[in-house]
Structure formats: structure tokens, C-alpha cells
Amino acid sequence: MMDVYFTIMVIIVVIYYLSQRKFNYWKVRNLKYLSPMPFVGNYSAYIFQKKTLGETVQSICQKWPNEPLIGAFYGTEPVLIVQDPEYIKLVTTTDFYYFNGREVSDYIHKETLSRNIFFANGNWWNLFRKNLSPFFTSINIKRMFPLIANHCKSLDKLLETETQVSKDLDVSSLMMRYTLDCICSSTLGIDPTALSTTPSNHPFVHVGRMIFSTSTYRGIQTVFRAVWPNIFYGLGFKMFPNDITDFFLSVIKKQLQEREDERQNRHDLIDFVAKLQKEEYITGDSIHNLLKNSAPEKIKMKIDDVLLVTQVVSIFAAGFETSATTMSFVLFELAKNPEIQQRVLDEIDQYNATKQGGLNYTCITELPYLYQCIQETLRLYPSLQVVTREVFKSYRFPNGVQVDRGVRVHIPVLHMHRNPKHFKDPHVFNPDRFSPEQKHTVSDYVFMPFGKGPRLCIGSRFGKMQMMAGLVSIFTKYRLELLTGASTEVQFEPRSMPTQPKKALHLKFISRNSTFN
């Protein structure tokens, strides 16, 4: 019996030691840091799913408001929080090579759907980024607009039908169905008809919800994988079901076969994938070329169908979910601020009066105030509340702090966006912050809803296009109000990686052609 007790005690001591073995990391580097708790470090609120990652990091930053760098512990691992704009510029842009990966980049080979440009680092990321970027040129984005305009008509029809039944509508669901149709037709060349199909019966809606599930189990998975990826994958867990890969593999193979039979070229992502598939290899510059005095190096990588499918899935996921959520927040803020909404309505009415042919691509550039509203929404509700990086190669900051390869880096986007040091009255929705007269006061490395530097969101222009078009379509015929007794504040869902409201947003849609409320 004594042997059993002794063994248990040894195991407990070993586990406790392993949980704290790195807790002196910041002390020996003379960096201000918070004393960690065993196992959870300084991120207990996030690990126990009480707060989002962004809210957790924000609370840490508020304890050291004037420190450019803060040492903390993400579970048992050291994490560097970078909150000074000049240091953020170093991490994201100037010295990007040293921070080019995300915090799970070394584990992407463990899971099929993780092998994409969002999670990758090094040459792998660099090759796919360079080879996918041509798809998102301004010319290609403009070519997609007629498809978006058609989905705006479908959205208009759906709203007409829905508002005859009830003025109270779930905008979270509506915007998700709209952006789902947009991303599928623009990238996959298919019309999933999410706007004209019951969501519960729709396969793309189902797979989208699988990707962005906020169940308790998915929340635990998200935290465990982010904080302890070596244990997560070592125990054989996976973040995403294989059903997602199988679904998209089937859809894409079917599309490729149809186009080969019909000899069609639609200039969408499927055509782009077909081109890469035929080449078998992708080539480009080595990421090591970013280093000063490095010898130019070219590299190539063999690709397969599954690898291409994972890139499509990542673009699909980012293209519909983040835009849908941002649009929902725009509608919520405009319903909450009727005077600002009226300025939007006036601008759209003036625009429509000059465009007798209906919605067209010029809405992207000719509705500046509406776009200011989107930017202000992204300030308050950034899609990613924390931009994560991982040290790719040992690096010394100007203040002398040195970090080793593998150390996590957190850039507190939510904190920067809501910091009174950077934005006056930060909790007030004020689109004029981004007006031509005032936008020069907003630092590039303070406002970063799409990230910064070479890892800037690859689809940001597409997202802007579908959001602008959809919002114009809605406000052409409706004005919005909060429901009676509804909260004017949004709580975030702590189990979601991208920003999502804890509860679906419901708003009152009132026809602008009627005085009936």
C-alpha cells in the first residue's frame, strides 16, 4: 500500500513540476509579468470559458497599461503580450520573418483541416499565400459582383416574405444565409440557395455550423488545442470532424468533373484549384529570403487533392462566418443609434437616385459613410480579438527582451480597439472616427481588424464587397429598431474562436414604404 501512495505522490509532484517548470521565463528576462497560477497561468477566465481570449488578454493589459511588452503564461507556457503600436509593427511587418507562424503552426500536420494558410507558417504558408493571392485581385473581385447582386435580390425577397409574418427577425441567421450564398457562388461556382431553403435542411448551413460550433465540447477542444496542442494531438484528438473534409472533397470533385466535361471557365476558386491541380507542384520564393543578406532561394512543393480542399475550406469558412457576424453587428449598432442610421439611409437614398440600373459595384466606393460604419463596427467587434503569433526564430526586441523559438505572442486587438489611449470614448459607436477628416488620427498598428503585414486577411476585399452590397440592399427598403426591452450591450460567446454574440441578435425590420410599425 505504501508503494501505491508513494507512486501517486511522485506522479503528483512530477505533474506539478512540469506545470511550473517555465514559470521563471519572464523573471530571468527582467520583463514585467503577472504571477501565474498552476496549470492555468494567467488565462484561467479563458480556459474555464468564462471570458473570450480577447477579454482575458484585455484584463491583463489593463494591469500594465504603459508597458510595451507584458509577460504572461498561457496555461503552462510563456506568452508575450505586445501592446505598443511600434512593437506590433515589428512583430507583424518589419521583422515578420521571426513571427510568421501562428500558435499551432508546428502541429498542422496532425490534422487534415489544419493544413491551411490560416494556421501554417514558414515556406508552407509562404507558397500557398503567394499562389492563392492572385484569386483575390481587384479584377477578380469585381468580376464576382453580379453574383453578389443576385443574392441581394434573393435576400430582398426573403425579407419581404419574413416581414409579412413577423417584424422581429434573427439577423444572425439571415446574414449567415446571405454570406453563405455569396461565398459558395463566388468561390465554388454553385448556388446553395441558403436564402430560399429552410436552414435546418441545408447541407452547407449544416457543415458551416460544424466548423464554427460553440458547443461546450467544442469550446473545451478549442482551449485544449490552443493551450496544450502537444497533449491534445498526443492523445489523438482532432478539432474538426472528417465529415467536413469529405463533404468539400465531394463537392469540389463534382465541380471539377462538370467543368472538364463542359469545358467551362468561370474564373472562380474551383478554376484556380483546377489549374494548381494540373501543375502538381507550386513554386515560389523561400520565406528565408526575407532575412537580410540571405541568398535568394526558390522552392517547390508537391500538392494533392486533400491539400487543395483544405485551402478551399479555410477560404469558405472565413468568407461567410466573419462577414455574417460583422454585418449582424452593423445592423445592431445602427438599430441602437437611429441618428447614425438616418445618415446611412440618406446616403443610400442619394446613391440609389443616381443608379437607375440597380445595385452595382460602385457601391464599394460611393458610400463612404456606410463603410465608416463597417469600420467602426470592426473596431468594437473585431473578428479576431487576439492576433496570435509564434516565434519562428529567436528574436531580441529594442528594449533588450529576447524570446526563443516556440514562444507564443498575443497581440490584443480588442484591447487596442477599446483603449481610451487610442480612441476617445472607446465604447461609443462613432463612425466619424474614420471620416476623411479624422481617419489620420487612427494609427495603422492600433486599428487592425484584418491583421497587419504579410498575414493581412487574404479575403478582406471580398468581405467588404459582400457586406456593402448586402447592407445597401437591406437599408434601401427597411429601417431597423431594437426590440422593446432588448439589451443595448452584446455579450461575447467565450467558446468561439472568432467573435460571435452569445445570443442571436434579433431586430425589428420596418418597411420604409409604410408607416405601419
Binding residues for heme: 457
Per DSSP (E only), the strands in 187-312 are 281-285, 298-302
Among 98, 430, 114, 426, smallest CA distance to 291 is for 98
DSSP state of 41: B
Residue type, 129: R
DSSP-based three-state secondary structure for 143: helix
Strand 298-302 and strand 281-285: the pairing is antiparallel
167 contacts: CB under 8 Å, gap ≥ 6: 508, 509, 510, 517
Name the binding residues.
457
Question: In which region does residue 395 sit, left (phi positive, over 0), alpha (psi from -120 to 50) or beta (all else)?
Answer: beta
DSSP state of 15: H
- Tell me the C-alpha distance between 367 and 390, whole Å: 39
Location of C-alpha cell 510568421: 100
- Compute the residue count for the chain: 517
Quick count: other Cβ atoms within 10 Å of Cβ 427? 10
- Tell me the C-alpha distance between 447 and 54, whole Å: 15
Among 169, 175, 243, 170, smallest CA distance to 206 is for 243
Per DSSP (E only), the strands in 200-294 are 281-285
- Tell me the C-alpha distance between 320 and 302, whole Å: 29
Cβ atoms of residues 128 and 117 within 8 Å: yes
CA 289 and chain centroid, separation: 28
Question: In which region does residue 425 sit, left (phi positive, over 0), alpha (psi from -120 to 50) or beta (all else)?
Answer: left
500 contacts: CB under 8 Å, gap ≥ 6: 212, 214, 325, 492, 493
The backbone torsions φ and ψ at residue 442, rounded to the nearest 5 degrees and listed phi first, read -95, 115
Strand 77-82 and strand 408-411: the pairing is parallel
Q: Which grid cell is 426?
A: 472607446
